[in-house]
Amino acid sequence: MSQSVTTNTNSELYARCGFYIDGRWIFPDDARCIDVVDPASEEVIGKIPLARKQDLDAAVAAAALAFADWRRSHAWDRAAILKRTAYLLRERAASHAGIFSLEQGKPGTEALREIGMAADHFEWAAEEATRLVGQIVPARPAGTVSVVEHQPVGVVAAFTPWNFPALQIAAKVAYALAAGCTIVLKPSEEAPGIAMLIVQALHDAGLPSGAINLIFGEPAEVSERWLASPEVKAMSFTGSTRVGKLLAPMAAASLKRATLELGGHAPVIVYPDFSPKEAVSLAAAVKFRNAGQACVSPSRFFVHKEILNDFTREMVAFAKSLKLGPGSDETTTMGPLVNRSRVDAAARLVKDALDRGAILECGGGQPADRNKGFFFEPTVLSNVAQDSLIMIEEPFAPIAPIVAFDDDDDVIGMANDVEYGLGGYVLCRDPVLAERAAEGLNVGMVGINNLALAGADTPFGGVKASGLGREGGPGALEEFLQKKMTKRAVTV
């Protein structure tokens, strides 16, 4: 059944709530506040407070106190709360998606899809909680038994980004809670509304006070305070590789667990036996989703020279067919970038590629018909040099660089020639060649003839500078668990 987005969003959302600490919403009058901006219009749509040191400490204290009881709660009881949360998110999806689109910019259909995926994570985590089992190990000497059980690590500090705020919150919070951990959460200040709505759903589902605590604040201040706290036992972060490299030593200093889902620069290898039209229909929709602001977005297109011209023509046609506009407009198929700095970064990447000999097939800058909003045209570049910045840096922009190849071994080398290793894609009808290419890609996830890598039922994560650990899938709770072995003498 299709669902439409409710455009009458709650304008009082930001005034009613700010921090959620120990089961209560707090908007401190004396806290410094920042504006929440609609990226499609550049208008201020609300304000949120920034945490003071006492707020950060209060959140950790509440989580630590709640952990004593939450860790001992029955797995089936935890599962019931998480399933109820999933139900509420789906029930409220239309109204939530409206706020989501307003503050983050993505079209309503994409916002609805993401809320559905977030609900999937809560449901999968609930089921994983009830499937968590220990082991009995044959012991020596005779007359003893060794039992291995899983225990929650403790308070988890979760840091989530603006590009997929609902999905990334769910991918951390759901599994930490399912494992019996409690959480202090700092979501992005650029997409705060959806974070507050997810926490409200957890509250309404019956989550005990203190099990989750939410604040907004200066990123460096929050991370330094929380990662120095002895009460915080683990960190889960999604964001840039640059920031991940800064946070990892901070967590390591006190031997905290660290899950890092960092940047990506996914190659798409298109072989000559694959229809260029079909290749574009698969890849372009994912490339330009969320205006290219996705870590697993296909961002480097290696196309065999036999089909290069046809592929380029189809990609240009797709890019030109996209309708830019605010996410609240039902006819919009691509929204704005999240802020002005992303627009400037995209322009810099295009200029660098052109300076190195690339051909601008379409797009390349801000649309002439929009003098407000952080919009950037869907852009296609051909003849892109391998040393261009667009081929090295994670673009996070609606730019599709196309590179020709004619050697199957060379293309794997080009695809792997970046610091990232999150996702990669192979479009090829020859099963032997497709498997060989997939095996050769040094990434954590590969899609063969499909580009849908993210799902609650599969592990999401990368290698190299794309991070450590996995989110979702079988064993997702392991990031938040530690093993304890008890050896017992058997009495008759």
Active site residue 181: no
Active site residue 261: yes
What are 319's two structure tokens?
A: 């890019």
CB atoms within 10 A of CB 121: 30
How far apart CA 268 and CA 448 sit, in angstroms, is 10
Helix, strand, coil share (%) of the chain residues, nearest 5: 40, 20, 35
What are 386's two structure tokens?
A: 């391998």
Q: Tell me which residue of 147, 161, 418 sits closest to 264, measured CA to CA.
A: 418
Of 261, 361, 394, 471, which residue is the catalytic one?
261
C-alpha torsion sign, points 335, 336, 338, 344: positive
**Locate tokens 């690590």: which residue?**
153
3-state secondary structure (DSSP) of residue 239:
coil
Tell me how far CA of residue 320 lies from CA of 107, 313, 402, in angstroms.
17, 11, 16
CB atoms within 10 A of CB 329: 16
- Residue 410 region by backbone torsions, left for phi larger than 0, else alpha for psi between -120 and 50, else beta: alpha
How far apart CA 287 and CA 451 sit, in angstroms, is 10
In DSSP notation, 31-94 reads S-EEEEE-TTT--EEEEEE---HHHHHHHHHHHHHHHHHHTTS-HHHHHHHHHHHHHHHHHTHH
Of 123, 295, 394, 428, which residue is the catalytic one?
295
Residues 6+ apart with CB under 8 A from 92: 197, 201
Q: What positions carry a catalytic annotation?
A: 261, 295
